[in-house]
Structure 1
Amino acid sequence: MSKGVCYEGVEDDPVSEEAITLGTEPATLLEYHCPNEHDSFGLVALSVHDGKGYWITWISAQGNAEADRAQFMQVLSSFAFTE
């Protein structure tokens, strides 16, 4: 799947991949744990609407993954595609 969330050149694949909904479209939520000097936690929501791809990213420091994920999901729940 996606590479480059951790900015390390070569990174591990996502630690999880989940089917979600973004607006009215099916989407995929990827979760990353970035190692080494970046020590980051990343979430990426991917979707396609009306032939256009959408990539929404959340990156934060490690150690608060559960709260970060809850906040990101709240942000995503407010997302709406406009025509």
Structure 2
Amino acid sequence: GPRALILADLTNRFYTMVPHSIPLGVPLPVLDNEHLIEQKVDLVQSLMDLEVSYSVVSAPSSNGAADPVRVHYDKLRCGLSVLDRSSFEFQLIEE
């Protein structure tokens, strides 16, 4: 019926915008239930997170002489500090 045609059209639009790799001859599932749609929403959110991370990491650095790893953490506004060898966190990581 009309609902199936609308779902097929919307599904095709989604797969056009977010290509998927599948074996030849295997049809992509129609996004016609909540579970599949939630999976695709999670996928799109992950792709958006990757895009943001990539844009932050690939932005030009203001300090070309700094350690590249430190520069990436600074761009992500993440602090780095050395753990004391006797700290609980250090012991946990070492295990």
Query: Above 0.5 in TM-score?
Result: no
Name the one with the larger strand percent: 1
Larger radius of gyration between Structure 1 and Structure 2: 2
